[in-house]
């Protein structure tokens, strides 16, 4: 299978970078092909706007989706977006490797979603969730946190991690059609010592060795929703 890893950390030699190394090694060893987009290294521009398209935009009322649609029709998306879209199309499985900053993606990775997952490519024209533009593929978050696991529970001070990650797992990945694998989380990675980090590395390698059969997060399917109200049928 073809794996694309989106890597979003300012330092390649960080623990996030170590997890990236582990993934490249474990997946390659298992016979997969791995491509990496190291967003800091390629100086990825995360700011969606007029530079996303090469045609002349409506300056009076610039609306991103309208211009994205025009760009898809005319082939006038900017080169950096097309390059990433081609990698996504090539992939069977996408891994997002990042430190959880402010309970979400680092801005450089959020901007990747904003800019690369354009209407007409990832969604739109009736395509979303099960029928999203990237359906047929899987995706998974691999992240490090600042706080320990118990602080990310329903009774923990930060709130339940699955609810926190819902806006990414469901709102970004499932929305585009990906089946979403349960995330890998290295809790409090900076504070567990070398031994604790080694345990994370071993656990991650283990998960990757069986990645094809790893459990998916279960969401209702489009057919479970009333097509008029887009709320769950009784």
Q: Where along the sequence are the contacts to its own copies (CB under 8 A)?
A: 10-11, 13-14, 40, 46-50, 60-64, 101-108, 110-111, 113-114, 117, 129, 147-148, 150-151, 153, 155-159, 163-164, 166-168, 170-172, 175, 190, 222, 225, 229-232
Nearer to its own copies, 10 or 125 (CB): 10
Return the number of the residue (31 or 223) whose C-beta is nearest its own copies. 223
Alpha-carbon gap, residue 83 to 131, rounded angstroms: 23
Angle subtended by helix axes 193-209 and 15-29, to nearest 10: 30
Residue 31 class from Cβ within 10 Å (0-12 exposed, 13-18 middle, 19+ buried)?
exposed
Longest Cα–Cα distance of the chain, Å, equals: 58
Find the shortest distance in angstroms from Cβ 15 to its own copies. Answer: 10
End-to-end alpha carbon distance in the chain: 39
The least distance separating its own copies from the CB of residue 13, rounded to whole angstroms, comes to 6
Q: Which is nearer to its own copies, 28 or 153 (CB)?
A: 153
The least CB distance from residue 164 to its own copies, in Å, is 5
Under 8 Å CB-to-CB from 188, ≥6 apart: which residues? 145, 146, 147, 148, 149
Q: Which is nearer to its own copies, 136 or 171 (CB)?
A: 171
Least distance from C-beta 80 to its own copies, angstroms?
14
């Amino acid at each position: 299978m073809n794996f694309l890893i989106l890597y979003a950390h300012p330092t390649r030699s960080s623990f996030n970078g170590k997890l990236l190394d582990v993934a490249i090694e474990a997946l390659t060893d298992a016979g997969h092909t791995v491509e990496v987009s190291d967003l800091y290294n390629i100086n990825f521009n995360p700011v969606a706007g007029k530079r996303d398209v090469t045609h002349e935009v409506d300056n009076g009322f610039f609306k991103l989706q309208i211009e994205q649609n025009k760009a898809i029709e005319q082939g006038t998306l900017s080169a950096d977006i097309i390059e990433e879209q081609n990698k996504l199309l090539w992939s069977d499985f996408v891994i997002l490797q990042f430190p959880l900053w402010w309970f979400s993606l680092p801005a450089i990775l959020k901007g990747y979603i904003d800019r690369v997952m354009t209407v007409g490519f990832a969604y739109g024209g009736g395509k979303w969730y099960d029928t999203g533009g990237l359906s047929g593929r899987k995706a998974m978050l691999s992240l490090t946190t600042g706080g320990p696991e118990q602080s990310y529970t329903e009774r923990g001070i930060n709130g339940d991690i699955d609810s926190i990650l819902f806006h990414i797992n469901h709102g970004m990945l499932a929305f585009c059609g990906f089946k979403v694998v349960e995330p890998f989380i290295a809790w409090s990675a900076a504070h567990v010592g070398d031994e604790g980090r080694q345990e994370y590395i071993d656990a991650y390698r283990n998960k990757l060795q069986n990645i094809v059969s790893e459990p998916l997060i279960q969401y209702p399917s489009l057919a479970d929703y009333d097509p008029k109200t887009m709320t769950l049928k009784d």
